Amino acid sequence: MKIKTFLLLGLAAALSGAAFAKDIQLLNVSYDPTRELYVDYNAAFAKYWQGKTGDKVTVKQSHGGSGKQARAVIDGLAADVVTLALAADVDALYDVGKLIPQDWQKRLASNSAPYTSTIVFLVRKGNPAKIKDWDDLVRPGVSVITPNPKTSGGARWNYLAAWGFALKKYGSDAKAQEFVGKLFKNVPVLDSGARGATTTFVQREIGDVAISWENEAYLAVKEFGADKLEIVVPSLSILAEPTVSVVDKVVKKKGTEAAAKAYLDYLYSDEGQEIAARNFYRPRNEAIAAKHAANFAKVELITIDAVFGGWTKAQKTHFADGGIFDQITTK
């Protein structure tokens, strides 16, 4: 009996030791242009979390087109958290994978969108194609770079911003569809993600204008130089709200729930918001937004809810198989 008792105690000790492991690994599955943001943020969070709990947390990053990334998580990529370009891609984690609860968006402030962005134009120095507003993108002969809305969250924002402009200016969905159709006829290459589209425009020197996330455009100018690129702010754009969520099924299985939740909560902290602003994302925190106001152009912003009736409807109408985007591109 004594030997068996000792063995049981030994096993219990081994199991409890495993349960209180101090090294935590998180995987953040994100969309294309957030690489730099989360490199900065992960370091700050690791420091914060170690100070708070003593645990050492390492966050791995995965980036790609937002739609593709959501698909990868549904197919088994063990993401502790997702930080995707739009709510529709996070919705898919519930709709298709049942990996998160249906009301995931209510779990964090601002509909689980800790920072926002918008859509601007990136043009070559001197703006040789004279791009000033959305109308210029449908001119014959103008070459426009935007990624594929089927795989890229940013591309869906681009598409909807163009649609919103045309709807406001020309007054009907039919005219808006015609406008967006003309715009996509001017797109020579459809990359799968926003970073790929930036590569196409900046490094491969294709196109006269790239429709881009605001932060991605600023980053491109910063990296490649103001002597090569310029940003043009259109008369109207869209409020882009990248959303974040813990992947419940994964964190429960891995035992990383507390760290994963804290990871997302910390995005709303002063330090998290400051890091977002430094990486050209518009912070939710008003004081920090005011501090960085000079970095963000004032532009009229439409919202997905007001113009398109929310992401679920927009997704179904425009981007689902057989939707308007498919109709436009198969013409």
Partner 1 sequence: MRNFASAVRTAVASATLFAGLPTIHAASDTDDITALREQLRLLDQKIKVLERKQEIAADDAATAAKSAPKITINDKGFTLASGDGANQLRLRSLIQADARVFTGQDPTITNNNAFLMRRARLIFEGTFAKNYSFLLVPDFALNSTTTLQLVDAWVNVAITPSLNLRLGRFREPVGLEQLQSDATAFFVERSLVSQLVPNRDIGAQLWGDVLGGTLSYAVGIFNGIADGANNNNNGENDQDKDVAARLFAQPWKNDGGSPLQGLGFGVGASFGRQKPVAANLTSGYRTDGQQTFFSYRTQSAAAASLTNFSTVADGPTWRVSPQAYYYNGPFGFLGEYALSTVNVRPNFPASLVGSPKVELKNRAWQLAASYVLTGEDAAYTGVVPATNFDWNGGTWGAFETVVRYDVLDLDDKAFTSPGGGYASLAAAAANPTKISTFGLGVNWYLSKAVRFSLDWFHTEFDNNVAVPTRALLKNDENAFITRLQIVF
Contact positions toward partner 1, by CB under 8 A? 3-4, 7, 10-11, 14-15, 18, 21, 76, 143, 188-189, 191-192, 196, 200, 204-207
CB 72 to partner 1: min, Å: 9
Please return the burial class of 237, using the count of CB atoms within 10 Å of its CB with bins 0-12, 13-18 and 19+. buried
Six-digit token string for 70: 């959501």
CB 2 to partner 1: min, Å: 10
Residues contacting residue 57 through CB under 8 Å, at least 6 positions apart: 24, 25, 26, 45, 46, 49, 50, 259, 263
Q: What is the 3 state secondary structure string of 33-93?
A: HHHHHHHHHHHHHHHHHHHHHCCEEEEEEEEECHHHHHHHHHCCCCCCEEEECCHHHHHHH
CB 153 to partner 1: min, Å: 18
CA distance 238 to 300: 8
Q: Which is nearer to partner 1, 21 or 109 (CB)?
A: 21
Q: Which is nearer to partner 1, 114 or 207 (CB)?
A: 207
Q: Which is nearer to partner 1, 50 or 143 (CB)?
A: 143
CB 3 to partner 1: min, Å: 6
Q: Which is nearer to partner 1, 118 or 148 (CB)?
A: 148
Closest C-alpha among 75, 105, 85, 106 to residue 319: 85
CB 115 to partner 1: min, Å: 28
CB 281 to partner 1: min, Å: 27
Six-digit token string for 325: 């985007």
Q: Report CA 105 to chain centroid distance, whole Å.
A: 15
Which residue, chain included where needed, has tokens 């007001």? 306
Closest C-alpha among 79, 93, 100 to residue 27: 79
Q: Which is nearer to partner 1, 23 or 321 (CB)?
A: 23
CB 318 to partner 1: min, Å: 23
CB 189 to partner 1: min, Å: 5
Question: Would you say 208 and 161 are in contact if contact means Cβ atoms under 8 Å apart?
Answer: no
Q: Which is nearer to partner 1, 16 or 330 (CB)?
A: 16
Q: Which is nearer to partner 1, 15 or 287 (CB)?
A: 15
Q: Which is nearer to partner 1, 71 or 284 (CB)?
A: 71
Q: What is the dihedral of CA 136, 205, 195, 242, to 10 degrees?
A: -20
C-alpha distances out from residue 246 to 61, 153, 161, Å:
14, 19, 28
